[in-house]
Structure 1
Amino acid sequence: MTEKLSDTARTTMIEPLLKDGWSMVDGRDAITKDFKFSDFADALGWMVRAGVWAEKWNHHPEWSNVYNTVTVTLTTHDVDGLSTLDAKLARKMDILAS
């Protein structure tokens, strides 16, 4: 079962993400990031690739798409906060977007 991140795990797993464009969500134990692409097709293609990983890991993002921008929020609802799954999916999303 997934557990909420400890303070030590937050330092090692979330802080590097914050330096790479992710930010904490006000009022929630969650992280968010806007991904910008050249056009709608690139944004949608990235969502499909990221969605395959989310489904494989059974960890689904909160996200929305407006033309070339995808806004992602990650949190683990089962633990009411951030878990290793959020850090793992955030890193994968960053890799897929690069």
Structure 2
Amino acid sequence: MDMVMKLGAESPVVILSKSTCCISHSIETLIRSFGANPTVYELDKLSNGKEMEKALIELLGSKSSVPAVFIGEEFVGGSIEIMSLNVKGKLKNLLLKANAIWI
């Protein structure tokens, strides 16, 4: 779990994903559409990816481990949480607060 949280604090926006996950790609595209440049870690390409995936399953409390999104060093959640923030108009403000984008 510590490794996941450490990666999540490395830049204003961090996305943990898998190279074959279309939902992860969609979330990355959404975040980039605001002008943010997220750091993306693809678990299936990391040597300790399986271990990190297990930690994410615990953190998310679900069967799916990706995408997992950190904004401003805080774990925000998975695709449902990110989409919900976007629909409510709160995602942009969160990205601004984390200095991931500027106006």
What TM-score, normalized by structure 1, do the two folds share? 0.32
